[in-house]
Structure 1
Amino acid sequence: MKIKNLQRPVQAKEVAFFGMAYFGFVILDHFTLWTFLGSTNNWFDFKDFLNLGGIDLLLKLLLGIPIWWIIFRKMWNFLLYQRILVHAVTLPLFIYSWQKLYYLIMENLNLYHHSGAKEVWDIYIATLFYLMQFGILHAYSYFRDNQEHIERQAVLQQSVLRSELSALKAQLNPHFLYNIFNTINASIPVELEQTRQMIAELSDLFRYQLRASNFETVTLREELDFTSKYLDLEKARFDERLTVEIFADETVLNEPVPPLILQPIVENAVKHGISPQIAGGKITINVHKDAAGLHFLIKDTGAGISDKNQLLNKGVGLTNTELRLNKMFGTSLLFTDNEPQGLCVQFILK
């Protein structure tokens, strides 16, 4: 199953800045042309305003918005050179569409536009405007991403001390916990082999959790193995009501990932998706990598949920996972409906 591209959320201040910048361009362009041409009309005259830059820049705004949306929203997690290559297509489309629409409108309004050999100046100026406009937007995008990265690093650095203290507390006497598990295991009769196996798997889960607290990342192989053992314990409880499938290419199994990033998501799928259903259901984990990063898709055939906004308010598991992704990678969890029923959870590690 193809994972959908995650979009960057639109911020109101960015839209406001974009609109105000264009309004400033219109006023400046109109005033400059009005002064240069020595117009005898009041510079607030509406027809004069349309003739001296108003229609020109309004069209550029309307044509620029979809290009901005594609490059800076739909493709925000693509590599920079990939986004820049898109301009090789959008620039000529922008110039051609603007020129045709601009000339058509000006002719219908009986207003002046260049013709003949002078049309090259319209193409030249429109090209410069496009390059300047999107050059500024790319610079702002880089500045914004860099600021977010600095903020995330600051938050992570502040949490280093707390993490180290937590790790020291966890290491006080880890063998005590393992010895307790071994003691319980040894006291279980041989005929209860399934119970013995469950305790052994539970011991492995605690061992992984303790070891993972000492590292910022583990391999995807280790994280999937831990998640698989957790789901094995759940399968022992649900019996045939729960089935699990995990898909990940061998080439990505050594990729670094944050520890315990999957467990809260599959726990939510079991607890709120599969458990309420008498027939149970299926959980599928799919991981693949492309130029944008490491993509994760966790889907279940459970009960599903209509109000996805409630998912981050039900407990600490998904909420903490969302915060970790946001602080470490600047990404978020994406919740969508599974087909024919259930829930899909997607995220990306860049």
Structure 2
Amino acid sequence: MLLHQITENRRYLFWTLQAAGWSGWAFTFYLGVLFWGKLPSENYHWYLPLISAIGMCLTLPLRSLYRYMWDMPIIRRVIAILLGSYAAGLTWMATRGAIFYEVFPEERKPYEQHGMAWHSYFDGSISAFWVMLVWSALYFGIKYYLQSQEEKERWLKAMTMAHQAQLKMLRYQLNPHFLFNTLNAISTLILDRNTELANTMVTRLSRFLRYSLDNDPMQKVTVAQEMDALRLYLDIEKVRFDERLQLHFEVEDGASTALMPSLLLQPLVENSIKYAIAKSIDGGAIAISARIFGGDLLLSVADNGPGLDLRNGRLPKGGGVGLANCRERLKEIYGEDQNFRLSTTEPHGLTINIRIPLEREAKAA
């Protein structure tokens, strides 16, 4: 939780990196002094944390400067980095020198005797400049990285929202076709004074529409739930076609708990009814199956209607909105990890085969 809070909050992240970076510099400097010689005195243990804190404070004006010049041309920013780092380095070194020679006056004597105090200060200023320059480079690098991540996140969010809108459009575009047909059938029943059957059809329609509206097209349902929804839909169509519509369901036990997009098969069954059942005097049959093969869920909807003129298993131009929308939904959800293929039912008819990755509901802990 703390790590997530630090990475999500810019202020926490800045001060965490500040503390870690300057502590690392002090520790490295301390090891260097131990390696090249001995400590000037026991006061060195508080001297290093002090000058580290001073260096950290001097980076705050640099941060303000870089924020102010962030959107300026690159040349100005480079100049600001160089001049700002050098000014901060000089100030830091002057402060360090004043504190150092006050705390450790014996360290100044050898340089003064040889007239090299200025040379020592110059060398220290150059090293301080490099420290500040590295800090500036890290500041810009981390800030650019965080900005690029934010832009990437915004882009992914926009793409997700676009995909969701596309999926909802494809899903809800199908319902009006079915609704108009059903209302026309109900109207006919009322005109024929068959009020009991009309009432039954209205009740079934309301149950199906409630299911349709309660299930978000972005959510997935189990195959068993999808089959229940299909039965709700087909109960309505059975009123229209009676014995002219024959149904066959075949769902393997292992496939009933697999996940799939909600109401994916309904437009395919609707397509079969429209082109295979409604156009035939004797009606026809529709077979719906679901099974597991390897790591995939295989779904199929087959009818024994007149079929379509298929070429390479693809839908000819003008072959139906429902089939095209179903294919687009699959592409939006699964990308290339899916397959939607049309074939001929022997001896005649249309078979729609769908392959999607096998997914199961996560069990509650």
TM-score range, shorter chain: 0.3 to 0.5
More relative contact order, 1 or 2 (CA 8 Å, 6+ apart): 1
Q: TM-score normalized by structure 2?
A: 0.44
Q: Which has the larger radius of gyration?
A: 2
TM-score by length of 1: 0.46
